[in-house]
């Protein structure tokens, strides 16, 4: 680890170029960096409107309207683009690129949430110093106000953790700087600065909020750690969850949260945040709405379903894990009318690079390689694509990130299935809130697509 940190520091000092991104020794803050990059983006948008506003970039078919608008090119989303074959890129960087250039936490190997957030917001790779500076800023903002702790502590432990998270985030709207500034009367070019402050405040407080919910629901007897000003965002989250001594889990959470930080704008939670934000609702209200979208079984609950399914398979086939037994269980699942959880994706048509990254993490950890559930995940991933191709009803027969993400959490002792989506919710804030800042900086309008009834649609087709 010392070698890697030394290399990064020397790279910064020499101003070398890494994957097309020039690292500059800089102590500029996140806001100062944004102030530099926003004018160029505003000019780019202005030229797009002036020169290409009537350009055709796709067509709308009836199947798009009836099929959940899948595949429609209809949103502007700056931080990431999802290619069906290559997977996700963050301002042009692949996941392996990010793992090479984004600074880790002190003593760690995995990129931090702060370094990913910096990249998403600015399109630039932060120096280690900038990443640490952002960690310190978030830690200073990380404690929850008393009215939010009282609210969360008053909720019944039987209330779903995601419901509690959404309520807590919405309640933080009480202190929204954007809302207060808007009521005072500010100019539109200033919107993004107050939105940024709200977004950073929310990201900073999510670990304490999510950890408090975990403690209240599952371990009410445990004392709750305070925010440690010397830790990064995920280091604090792990510590407040009660896993601070488990460095393996902490490192996994760093990778998990960075990988889940953004996946372009069309998914339900990201789109919800953007839609609600387009009304000029503040980031707290916008992201609370996104969390309730994430809580749906068709979106954020997938890794729970995978883990349940894999454990059911493990129970049925016992210690006799062979390719033939796994294949039989896959067919049993499909013939019962169920889907194989953790396989396929609404956009991707190849193995999910996030799944590949998590599998690489597993390969470097002897304790994970020895884990029966992780071994089962790996062997299933070798067999399932061919079974799904033979079945013929899946556009993408390859594993997605959910095929392994929950199983690793379970191995490291975070075994409460219902809580997994909360971790996803902490993660997805990085990208969804980034877009809110850019939506205000670019002056994006209220989102308002056109809808049709079936009768109106048939009339349109006939004409």
DSSP-derived 3-state class of residue 339: coil
Find tokens 């079984």 and name the residue: 297
- What would the two tokens of residue 328 be? 């039989």
Angle between helices 420-441 and 402-411 (to 10 degrees): 130
Marked catalytic residue, from 91, 345, 352, 411: 345
Marked catalytic residue, from 97, 262, 352, 402: 402
Burial class of residue 417 (count of CB atoms within 10 Å of its CB; 0-12, 13-18, 19+): middle
Q: How many residues does the chain have?
A: 463
Marked catalytic residue, from 83, 299, 328, 391: 299
DSSP string, 100-152: HHS-B-TT--SBPHHHHHHHHHHSSPPPHHHHHHHHHHHHHT-SPPHHHHHHH
| 168, 170, 176, 181: CA torsion to nearest 10 | -170
DSSP-derived 3-state class of residue 82: strand
- What is the sign of the dihedral through the CA atoms of 343, 347, 349 and 351? negative
Instruction: For residue 402, indicate whether it is catalytic.
Output: yes
Nearest in space to 342 (alpha carbons), one of 436, 274, 270, 420: 420
DSSP-derived 3-state class of residue 88: strand
375's CB contacts (< 8 A; 6+ apart) are: 321, 369
End-to-end alpha carbon distance in the chain: 67
Instruction: For residue 345, indicate whether it is catalytic.
Output: yes
Find tokens 């490192």 and name the residue: 251
* Residues paired with 87 in a beta bridge: 83
Distance, in Å, from the CA atom of 4 to the CA atom of 406, rounded to the nearest integer, reads 29
422's CB contacts (< 8 A; 6+ apart) are: 161, 162, 165, 210, 213, 214
Q: Catalogue the E-assigned strands of 277-320.
A: none
Point out the residues that are catalytic. 299, 345, 402
């Amino acid at each position: 680890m010392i070698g890697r940190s030394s290399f990064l520091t020397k790279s910064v000092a020499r101003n070398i170029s890494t994957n097309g991104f020039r690292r500059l020794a800089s102590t500029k803050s996140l806001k100062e960096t944004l102030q530099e990059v926003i004018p160029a983006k505003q000019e780019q948008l202005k030229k797009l409107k002036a020169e290409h506003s009537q350009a055709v970039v796709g067509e709308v078919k009836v199947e798009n309207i009836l099929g959940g608008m899948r595949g429609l090119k209809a949103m502007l989303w700056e931080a990431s683009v999802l290619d069906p074959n290559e997977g996700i890129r963050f301002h042009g960087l692949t996941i392996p690129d990010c793992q090479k250039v984004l600074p880790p936490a002190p003593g760690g190997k995995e990129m931090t949430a702060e370094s990913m957030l910096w990249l998403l917001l600015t399109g630039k790779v932060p120096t280690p110093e900038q990443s640490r500076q952002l960690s310190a800023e978030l830690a200073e903002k990380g404690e929850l106000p008393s009215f939010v702790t009282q609210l969360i502590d008053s909720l019944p432990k039987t209330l779903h953790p995601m419901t509690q998270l959404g309520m807590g985030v919405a309640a933080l709207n009480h202190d929204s700087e954007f809302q207060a500034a808007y009521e005072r009367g500010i100019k539109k070019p200033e919107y993004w600065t107050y939105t940024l402050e709200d977004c950073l405040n929310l990201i900073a407080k999510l670990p304490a909020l999510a950890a408090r919910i975990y403690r209240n629901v599952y371990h009410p007897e445990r004392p709750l750690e305070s925010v440690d000003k010397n830790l990064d965002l995920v280091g604090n989250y792990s510590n407040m969850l009660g896993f601070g001594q488990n460095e393996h889990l902490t490192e996994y959470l760093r990778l998990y949260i960075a990988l889940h930080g953004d996946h372009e704008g069309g998914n339900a939670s990201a789109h919800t945040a953007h839609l609600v934000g387009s009304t000029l609702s503040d980031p707290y209200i916008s992201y609370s709405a996104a969390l309730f979208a994430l809580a749906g079984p068709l979106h954020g609950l997938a890794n729970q379903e995978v883990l349940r399914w894999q454990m059911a398979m493990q129970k049925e086939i016992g210690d006799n894990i062979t390719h033939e037994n796994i294949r039989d269980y896959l067919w049993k699942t499909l013939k019962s009318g169920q889907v194989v959880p953790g396989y396929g994706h609404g956009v991707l048509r190849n193995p999910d690079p996030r799944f590949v990254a998590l599998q690489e993490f597993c390969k470097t950890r002897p304790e994970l390689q020895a884990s029966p559930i992780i071994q089962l995940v790996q062997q299933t991933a070798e067999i399932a694509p061919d079974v799904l191709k033979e079945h013929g009803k899946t556009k993408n027969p390859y594993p997605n990130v959910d095929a392994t993400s929950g199983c690793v959490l379970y191995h490291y002792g975070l075994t409460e299935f219902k809580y997994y989506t909360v971790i996803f919710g902490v993660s997805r804030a990085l990208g969804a809130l980034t877009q809110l800042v850019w939506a205000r900086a670019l002056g994006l309008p209220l989102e308002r697509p056109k809808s049709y009834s079936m009768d109106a649609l048939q009339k349109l087709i006939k004409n």
